Structure 1
Amino acid sequence: MTRRNTATIVFVSLCVVLVAAAVTLNVGWIYLHGRRVLPLVLGVLAFALIIAGIIVYTVFLVRELHRNDQQDAFLNAVTHELKTPIASIRLYLQTLQAREVSEAQRADFYRIMLADADRLQQTVELVLKAGAAGQRLALHERHPVDLAALAAEVLDVARLRHHLGPDAMTLDTRAAEGAWVEGDAEDLRSVLSNLLDNAVKYSRGLVRVTLDVDVPESDRVRIRVSDQGVGIPQSQLKRIFRRFHRFQWRGSKVKGTGLGLYIVRSIVRRHGGRVFAASEGEGRGSTFTIELPRMGRP
């Protein structure tokens, strides 16, 4: 049991004791002043306010402790995400400096260092986007974006990044005629990239991810990312979009910062849309759905 868990138990126990004491005093006050209306009413109101204040204060403290735990986990995750590729790049550079290597080895070292540099860049961009999302900045510049074309582009990049074959990730745009929205193409690309990366990370072994783009109604465009991975418990379906929150399936150790889905929700809301998750439970895959306001073809 961690120190913060112990503190939470102490605060909750103290709250229960104080509330019980206040209720006891309230009952005693009623017993002593049962025939005097004004002192009785004022006493009951005062004790009710005291009890409410104790409860609110305790809830606030427990939430702050939980938030501190999440922030500590985030700092540890970001530190790991930064430290690991830096150590790898440093090791390969020291190897290249210390001894002669063949051209094939040199090319392999360069490839690994570029991949590590990309990982560093993704982590930094993720933290920067999370900061912008936390400020809830308005979307001032809007441009026409073809979501079907954007989805195809992001899917190809995800295949290359995760070294997957064409069957592992598929795209369905058969009902995507007129899937145009007004918004920021880079932000929307980040949304799709985050969802696809999560779908791959939370797949167990065999990756089977589907990206669908369609126009179910004349005024909206729908995007769905489905996988056959670990799934999500019902209790976690709304929590996963909170900042720093990370769901770990039993026995899994998926790396991450807990910011990806928070950024996804922030960007979608800034575009006037909504995002939600659905799953039949652990081990049965999950589907993330985005709905955005549709515009006519430019």
Structure 2
Amino acid sequence: MKVLIVDDNPKIMAIAKVHLKKESLEVLCVEDGKRALESAHREKPDLILLDVDMPEMSGFEVCQALKDDTVLCMIPVIFLSAADDNGSRIRGLDLGAVDYVTKPFDSFELRARVRAAMRTKQLQDQLATLNQDLEKRVEQRTDKINQLLRQKDAFVNQLSHDLKTPLTPLLALLPMVANRTEDIESKRMLDLVMDNVKYMKNLTEMTLQLAQLNSSRISLKLEKVDLISEIGNVIKSLSSLFEENSIKVVNNTSSPLYVEADRMLIMEVFHNLISNTVKYTNGKGFVYFDAIIDSSETITVSVRDNGIGMTEMQLKRVFEEFYKVDDSRNDRSSTGLGLSICQRIIEKHGGRIWVESQGIGQGTTIYFTLPVRQGELETPASVGSLKQR
């Protein structure tokens, strides 16, 4: 390993050089600060012994220059100085030196301090090498993962295309065949086939959408969206669904709350959440909509029902792709992807989504958050009141 001694006193340099060579070190010597910086750039020493009191450029100034240099800043510095006051010691250490040795120095002490500094430098170099190796491995692994993700996206896109192609004529032709069939049993079987074809089409489209949402290349069509207005719109558009299932809607939102969002995707979140709510709420149930702005400048929306509720195990798995709770495993209207898609959409907007339930028969509440649109914080702090969580 290599040591650079910087001292304007040739005798001190010679003595230090003799002792350090006993440590099997390569020793370089220069007599002023300017040459020290030039030598440090050229030789890249593993340690610098630096005198404090030198003409033109003091040791403190040299140390400052070393620590300001992105190439040389990691070279450890030990000050050699006749100044034995605490002020000089503290200043040297504050500048980034690893040690401070006073003159005249004891040769054994100097060698011990140099050995300690060299051990630290070796450990630093090993750590730097490990970090570089780790960064390289992470980069390689990331490239591999991205390659696999691209392959997966391409596969899903191709698969969806290949599945949709034969489904299109089936969707068009099966109703025509059913209309021409008079046999009741044949009509029943055709209706069953049609239901399964529709399910396959829906599953294919949702699988493709989920793959697109998983891709980092998806771009959101952001615009100013009044979340409260959209809640009202989706309630109005689905009013017949609520009536058919004898579900009463309670909308506790009123004042505008603006977010920067992709309107179509946010509407899809509401449609998916409401579909789940209707599916698992028995007749004459209730659905509550609430929204607030909390102290972290995010809007929290909740959709709460008094339906069948969920177990702790179901809550843990509810966002898994293709997961269906027990009552819907054979339900052809459910793909098991609705909440997974909601999660991807909300996370793409910088928010989060979660589900709470006190258990079977206790209803379910789905919460999601979205960042408040910049410049809209003058909106009233609360619209509606979320259930305490």
Structure 1 length-normalised TM: 0.56
Cα distance in 1 between the residues matched to 2:331 and 2:178: 30
2:357 is equivalent to residue 274 of structure 1: no
CA deviation digits over 1:114-172, x for unaligned, max 9? Answer: x9999887555423321212324454542111111111111222223455489622322
**Pair 282,94 (structure 1): closer, same or farther in 2 beyond 3 Å:** same
**Pair 137,263 (structure 1): closer, same or farther in 2 beyond 3 Å:** farther
Post-superposition offset of 1:230 = 1.2
**Pair 161,204 (structure 1): closer, same or farther in 2 beyond 3 Å:** closer
Residue identity in the other structure for 2:239: R
Q: Map of 1:1-298 to 2, 5 A cutoff?
A: 92-94=175-177, 96-97=179-180, 123-161=203-241, 163-164=243-244, 168-174=248-254, 177-217=255-295, 219-249=297-327, 254-255=331-332, 256-295=334-373, 296-297=375-376
**Pair 242,171 (structure 1): closer, same or farther in 2 beyond 3 Å:** same
Secondary structure in 2 aligned to 1:273? coil
Post-superposition offset of 1:95 = 5.2
Post-superposition offset of 1:244 = 1.4
Quote the residue 2:124 is aligned against: none
**Pair 292,207 (structure 1): closer, same or farther in 2 beyond 3 Å:** same
CA-based RMSD of the aligned residues comes to 3.5
Assess if the C-alpha contact under 8 Å between 2:287 and 2:303 holds in 1: yes
Q: Provide structure 1 residue ranges, at least 5 long, that are not aligned to the other structure.
A: 1-78, 100-114
**Pair 233,137 (structure 1): closer, same or farther in 2 beyond 3 Å:** farther
| Structure with greater Cα Rg | 2
**Number of residue equivalences:** 198
Assess if the C-alpha contact under 8 Å between 2:227 and 2:257 holds in 1: yes
Post-superposition offset of 1:281 = 0.4
Cα distance in 2 between the residues matched to 1:204 and 1:117: 28
Post-superposition offset of 1:283 = 1.5
Residue identity in the other structure for 1:228: N
Residue identity in the other structure for 2:252: D
Cα distance in 2 between the residues matched to 1:155 and 1:292: 20
Post-superposition offset of 1:261 = 0.6
Post-superposition offset of 1:291 = 0.9
Assess if the C-alpha contact under 8 Å between 2:309 and 2:359 holds in 1: yes
Structure 2 length-normalised TM: 0.44
Cα distance in 1 between the residues matched to 2:198 and 2:321: 23
**Pair 166,153 (structure 1): closer, same or farther in 2 beyond 3 Å:** farther
Cα distance in 2 between the residues matched to 1:171 and 1:230: 21
Residue identity in the other structure for 1:185: R
**Pair 156,122 (structure 1): closer, same or farther in 2 beyond 3 Å:** farther
Residue identity in the other structure for 1:146: D
Assess if the C-alpha contact under 8 Å between 2:247 and 2:284 holds in 1: no
CA deviation digits over 1:1-41, x for unaligned, max 9? Answer: xxxxxxxxxxxxxxxxxxxxxxxxxxxxxxxxxxxxxxxxx
CA deviation digits over 1:79-115, x for unaligned, max 9? Answer: 9xx99xx68x86653454468xxxxxxxxxxxxxxx9
Post-superposition offset of 1:179 = 1.2
Residue identity in the other structure for 2:366: F
Cα distance in 2 between the residues matched to 1:291 and 1:230: 24
Assess if the C-alpha contact under 8 Å between 2:210 and 2:341 holds in 1: yes
Percentage identity across aligned positions?
Answer: 26
Q: Provide structure 2 residue ranges, at least 5 long, that are not aligned to the other structure.
A: 1-162, 183-194, 378-389
Larger mean Cα displacement after TM superposition, 133-142 or 268-277: 133-142
**Pair 121,156 (structure 1): closer, same or farther in 2 beyond 3 Å:** farther
Cα distance in 1 between the residues matched to 2:233 and 2:203: 21
Cα distance in 2 between the residues matched to 1:127 and 1:245: 13
Cα distance in 2 between the residues matched to 1:286 and 1:96: 42
Structure ranking higher in helix proportion: 1
